[in-house]
Structure 1
Amino acid sequence: MAERMLQFVRLPQRPPEKRDAAARSHDWAEVYRPFDPAAAAEQASRCSQCGVPFCQVHCPLHNNIPDWLKLTAEGRIEEAYEVAASTNSFPEICGRVCPQDRLCEGNCVIEKGFASVTIGAVEKYITDTAWERGWVRPPKPRRELPHSVGIVGAGPAGMAAAERLRVKGYQVHIYDRHDRAGGLMIYGIPNFKLEKEVVLRRHAQYEAGGIVFHLDCAVGRDVSLAELRARHDAVLIATGVYRARDIACPGVGLPGIVAALDYLIASNRKGLGDAVPEFDSGALDARDKDVVVVGGGDTAMDCVRTAVRQGAKSVTCLYRRDRANMPGSMREVANAEEEGVRFAWLAAPEAFLGDARVTGVRAVRMHLGLPDATGRQQVEPIPGSHFVQPADLVIKALGFDPEDLPAMFEEPALAVTRWGTLKVNHRTMMTSLPGVFAAGDIVRGASLVVWAIRDGRDAAEQMDRWVKAKAAAEAAPMAAAAE
C-alpha cells in the first residue's frame, strides 16, 4: 500500500482539465474534460488511507471512498466500480453534481497543506468507465417475489428505492407526472453539470431490469393514492418539493419576473428537443437581456450559468449575505465568475421597477449583524444605501417548499409537519397511513441529490421489512389452521 498510496506528499492535486471559460460559456457541454486513466490512478494514489476516513463519515451515503480510491490507484477499475455501486445507486451522478467541497473533499484529512484528493472526479471516472465497458447491469433479482410496491416520483429518492426493491425481487411500479424519469435530475439541473443522457440511460437500464414506469401519470389526477394502496403491498411517496418560495416586494407580479424552476425546466426541455412556447416567445429566454438572479444556492448558480449560455447581455446574482455565507458550492461560484457572472454580495431586493414589464431591481446594501438562535449571522439593511440594478429578466431562486399533498392526493389523513413536509416515523419512514412510506425532499425539505439517494435506499429497507412482516402475520393463522 505504501508504494501505491500516500502519494500526496509527492504529487500535487490536479483535477481534470477545465475547459476555457470563453469557450464553454457558449455551449452546454461539461466544464471538466474526462480524466485520463493514468491521471485518475495518480490522483487516487494521493489518498492517505487514514484510520478514520472523514471523507466517508461526511458523505451522506457513507461511500467506501478510501477503498475505491485504492483500487483505482491499482488499476482495478471494475472492482472499484463494484465498491462504489454497493452504497450508491447513482455514483456517476454524484460524481458530477455533489458539492464535494462541502462534503467528502472538504473533510479530506490532507486538505490542510496538501489540497484534498479529487474524490468526485475519480468517482465520475470510475463509473463512466464502467458504463463504457458494459459493467453496469440492470437491477435483476435472483428470485421474484409476489409482492408489488408503488413509488410516487421518479426522482433520485424514488429511483434509488426502486433499484433496491427490484434487486430484492419486488414488482416495482414508478408513477411520475412528468414525461421523463429523473425528476429534477432531468429537468432542473442544466446539461453543463449533468448531461441528460446520463439520467436517461439509467431509466432505460431500470426498465430492462423489470421496473415499470407510468409516466405522465399524476397522483390525484390520473390515479388516486387510495387506488395505489389497493394495488400495491406498500407505497412510497418521493415527490420532491416543487413549490417556489416567493418574495414580498412591490412589483413582484410584473411580467419578466419568473421562478427559477420554470426557467430551468424550459431551458432543459428546449435542450431535449421539446416544443417550449414560453421559451420561443422570449419569456423564459435570457438572450440579449440584462438578467438578475435573486438567491445564493446551487439553483441560483444553475440559473446564472444557464443565462450566460443563452446569450444574456449581462448576468448579476443578488445575494443578501457575503461569499463566505453562501449556501451554494464555492466551486460553482468560481465557475460562474469565470464565465462572466457578476455577484452583488450583501444586497437584497426591496422592489421591482417597471410599468408594462420589469426594468430593474431596487436593492439595498446589507451588513452582517449578530448571530441568531442557529448561530448564523443576521442581515440588516444599511440606511441610505439603495441602488438600482437594471433588469429585463429577474429569476427568483429563493428555494422550494412542499406542495399540499393531502389536497393533491385527496387524502386528508396524510399528516404533514408545520413546514408542509410529510410527517413520518423517522425510525420506520412510514407516514400516518399504514403501508405508505415517504423519502427524500418531501420529508427533509429541499436538499441534495445525494441525500435523496440515501433516503430512498433507507426507505426501501424499511418497506421490505414491513411487507415481509405483514405477509408473515397474514400467513400465520393459515398455517395454524392447516395443522
Structure 2
Amino acid sequence: MGKPTGFLDYKREDILERDPKKRVKDWNEYTLPAPDSLMQRQGARCMDCATPFCHIGMEISGTTSGCPIHNLIPEWNDLVYRGRWKEALDRLLKTNNFPEFTGRVCPAPCEGSCTVEISEPAVTIKNIERAIIDKGFEKGWITPRIPRSRSGKKIAIVGSGPAGLAAADQLNQSGHTVTVYERADRAGGLLVYGIPNMKLDKRIVERRINLLRQEGIEFILNTEIGRDISAEQLRSEYDAVILCTGAQKQRDLELEGRDAAGVHFAMDYLTGASQRLLGSHVHEEKYIDAEGKDVIVIGGGDTGADCVATALRQKCRSVVQFGKYPKLPGARTPDNMWPELPNVFTLDYAYEEAAAVHGDDPRQYSVQTKKLVADQNGSLKELHTVQMERVQDENGVWIMQEVPGTERVWPAQLVFIAIGFEGPEHPVLSAFGVETVQNRRVATIAPKSYQTNVDGVFAAGDARRGQSLIVWAIREGREVAAEVEAYLKLAAAAV
C-alpha cells in the first residue's frame, strides 16, 4: 500500500469525457486519454485490503460482485501509484487477456465491491485498467508472443467474441493449433457489431485480432457452420471443438401492431450502423436510419442506451427510452448492501448526450407498452402506453399493476426492442447435436464443466452461461481452454 492515507487525501476523479454536444457529431470514442498524474492519484486511493473484495468474482443476489477473472487489482493500483507501469501491465495480463475491452465496456462490478465504496465513491478501477493497457500498446511493450513449439493438436472455435478469443489465446499459447470460425466479415463478434464505436473503437478490436493472428491463430471469416462447412467435418478435422456462438436470439414483444414497418430489434439496428461506419457490406433496404424520426427504445439496459446514442448521431428528431421498473435511488438501499453491485441511479454517456441535445434525460420509468399503431401504408406512426406501479396483492406479494388514467400516445416512426436475449441461435447447436437447457443455453455434463453431451465438443461464454458480461465471457474462455487441455491429455494418454 503505497500511500496509507490515499483514500482520505484524494477524491474520486473519473476519466475525462468529450463535450456531449460535440461528440454526437461523430462516432469517435466519447472518453479522453487519462493523464498519468490522474491515474496515479486514483491508484493511491486503493486501500490494499487484507481481503480484497474487488476481485472475489462471485454472484450475490443474482448480480456479479467483484471481478470474475480475479484481476490482481490492489497490486496494479499500487504499481500505477508508484509509476511502475510496466510491472502493472505484467500483473494485469496475468488474469485478463483483453484489458482494452474490459477497460472500456465492462460495467465494473469490481468497483461495487471496493472497500472504499462502503463510505466513499469507489476507486476508479476500470479507468486505471484501461490506462495500463493503453500505455502498454503506446510504449510498444505488447508484442506478439509466438509459442516456442506446437503440440500437433488442432482446436476449432466457433465464434470470435470475447469467450472465443480468450479460449483461442490460451490454447494457442499452450502450443496448440487454433482456428476460429466466424460467420461475419470481421472477427470480434459483438465487440465489433454489437457495441457502438463511441464506446469501443473498432481499431482497438482490430489491433488485438491482428496480434492474435501474428501469434499463430487462424481466423476464417464469412463462414457459417452447417452452411459453408459441416459440423461433421469440423469434428473429423480437429481434436476438439469449442462453441462460443453467444446468446444472440433476441427477446421479442408480443404486441398488437408488432408487424408495423419501423419496429426492429435493437441489435439489428446497432449492427447495421456499425457495418455502415466500417464500410462493410450492408443492404440499403436493411439499413435503419433514424434521421428526422421520433425514436422509442423499449428496454432500459445498456443495449437500449446504445440505441439512444446511435439515434442521436443519426440526427433523430426525438428519442425516448422506456423501462418497466421505477427510477433507481440515488444511493444504496438497505436491501442492496455492499459488496453487492450498487443498484443506483447513474447517468450513462447516452443519456448525457440526449440531455445536452434535446434538453432532458430520455428515460421514462414504469412504462408498459400496450400497442403499436401503423398508418394506412403499414408504417409505424404511434405507440400507446400506460404507467405501472408496484403494489402488494391480497397475499402480500409485490406485483406491477396499471395506473388508471395514465394512458398516453407517443408519436413514433421507429421503435427498437432492447429487452435482452433468450439464448443462442439453434442451427449450429443442432448441427453438432448438443443438448440445451430448456431449449435455451447449451447444456454441459456438469454445472462447472464446459463439456457438452457430444464427445470433444465444448461450449463457453453466453452460449453456455446465458446473456452476461464481457468479463464473464473472458473467464469462461480461459476456463474452457483449461478443460480442453485436460481432455487432450487424457485422450493422448489413452492412445
TM-score greater than 0.5 by the shorter chain? yes
Work out whether residues 368 and 386 of structure 2, in 8 Å CA contact, stay in contact via their aligned partners in 1.
yes
**TM-aligned CA distance change 1:464 to 1:325, over 3 Å:** farther
Are 2:423 and 1:415 equivalent residues in the alignment?
no
**TM-aligned CA distance change 1:412 to 1:111, over 3 Å:** closer
Rounded Cα–Cα distance in structure 1 between residues aligned with 2:345 and 2:186: 29
Partner residue in 2 for 1:251: 257
Rounded Cα–Cα distance in structure 1 between residues aligned with 2:397 and 2:272: 35
Work out whether residues 247 and 425 of structure 2, in 8 Å CA contact, stay in contact via their aligned partners in 1.
no
Work out whether residues 11 and 46 of structure 1, in 8 Å CA contact, stay in contact via their aligned partners in 2.
yes
Are 2:305 and 1:301 equivalent residues in the alignment?
yes
Partner deviation per Cα, 1:68-109 (whole Å, 9 max, x = no partner): 101111111111111111101111110100112xx1111111
Most deviating of 423-432 and 144-153: 423-432
Most deviating of 40-49 and 135-144: 135-144
Are 2:269 and 1:263 equivalent residues in the alignment?
yes
How far is the alpha carbon of 1:411 from its aligned partner?
3.4
Rounded Cα–Cα distance in structure 1 between residues aligned with 2:369 and 2:229: 42
Are 2:350 and 1:336 equivalent residues in the alignment?
yes
Partner residue in 2 for 1:190: 196
SS in structure 1 at match of 2:416: strand
Gaps of 5+ in 1: 475-483
**TM-aligned CA distance change 1:457 to 1:376, over 3 Å:** farther
**TM-aligned CA distance change 1:121 to 1:412, over 3 Å:** closer
Rounded Cα–Cα distance in structure 1 between residues aligned with 2:243 and 2:407: 45
Rounded Cα–Cα distance in structure 2 between residues aligned with 1:377 and 1:169: 55
Rounded Cα–Cα distance in structure 2 between residues aligned with 1:82 and 1:142: 20
Partner deviation per Cα, 1:138-184 (whole Å, 9 max, x = no partner): 24223211111010001100000000000000000101101111000
Work out whether residues 224 and 409 of structure 1, in 8 Å CA contact, stay in contact via their aligned partners in 2.
no
- Aligned partner (choices 210, 214, 220) of residue 214 of structure 1: 220
Quick one: which amino acid aligns to residue 380 of structure 2?
A: V
Partner residue in 2 for 1:94: 102
Alignment size in residue pairs:
466
Quick one: which amino acid aligns to residue 155 of structure 2?
A: V
Are 2:373 and 1:367 equivalent residues in the alignment?
no
Rounded Cα–Cα distance in structure 2 between residues aligned with 1:376 and 1:107: 30
Give TM-score scaled by structure 1 length.
0.92
Rounded Cα–Cα distance in structure 2 between residues aligned with 1:426 and 1:62: 20
Most deviating of 246-255 and 106-115: 106-115
How far is the alpha carbon of 1:343 from its aligned partner?
1.0
SS in structure 1 at match of 2:179: strand
| TM superposition outliers: structure 1 runs of 4+ over 3 Å | 325-334, 375-378, 407-413
- Aligned partner (choices 387, 400, 413) of residue 421 of structure 2: 400
Identity over the aligned pairs, expressed in percent?
38
Quick one: which amino acid aligns to residue 88 of structure 1?
A: N
Partner deviation per Cα, 1:214-269 (whole Å, 9 max, x = no partner): 11111011111111111111110000011211101100010000110110001111
**TM-aligned CA distance change 1:307 to 1:5, over 3 Å:** farther
Rounded Cα–Cα distance in structure 2 between residues aligned with 1:376 and 1:274: 51
- Aligned partner (choices 454, 467, 481) of residue 475 of structure 2: 454
Partner deviation per Cα, 1:406-451 (whole Å, 9 max, x = no partner): x445537311110411101333310010110000001111111111
How far is the alpha carbon of 1:402 from its aligned partner?
2.8
Work out whether residues 359 and 391 of structure 1, in 8 Å CA contact, stay in contact via their aligned partners in 2.
yes
Rounded Cα–Cα distance in structure 1 between residues aligned with 2:217 and 2:77: 32
Partner residue in 2 for 1:201: 207
- Aligned partner (choices 291, 294, 317) of residue 290 of structure 1: 294
How far is the alpha carbon of 1:270 from its aligned partner?
1.1
SS in structure 2 at match of 1:384: coil
Partner residue in 2 for 1:74: 82
Rounded Cα–Cα distance in structure 2 between residues aligned with 1:6 and 1:56: 22
Work out whether residues 262 and 414 of structure 2, in 8 Å CA contact, stay in contact via their aligned partners in 1.
yes
Give TM-score scaled by structure 2 length.
0.90
Quick one: which amino acid aligns to residue 416 of structure 1?
A: T
Quick one: which amino acid aligns to residue 127 of structure 1?
A: I
How far is the alpha carbon of 1:277 from its aligned partner?
3.2
Partner residue in 2 for 1:321: 325
Work out whether residues 144 and 214 of structure 2, in 8 Å CA contact, stay in contact via their aligned partners in 1.
yes
Work out whether residues 231 and 432 of structure 2, in 8 Å CA contact, stay in contact via their aligned partners in 1.
no
Work out whether residues 9 and 114 of structure 1, in 8 Å CA contact, stay in contact via their aligned partners in 2.
no
SS in structure 1 at match of 2:431: coil
Q: Provide the alpha-carbon RMSD of the alignment.
A: 2.3
Partner residue in 1 for 2:336: none
How far is the alpha carbon of 1:331 from its aligned partner?
8.1
Are 2:247 and 1:241 equivalent residues in the alignment?
yes
**TM-aligned CA distance change 1:152 to 1:18, over 3 Å:** same
Most deviating of 251-260 and 377-386: 377-386
Rounded Cα–Cα distance in structure 1 between residues aligned with 2:105 and 2:262: 29
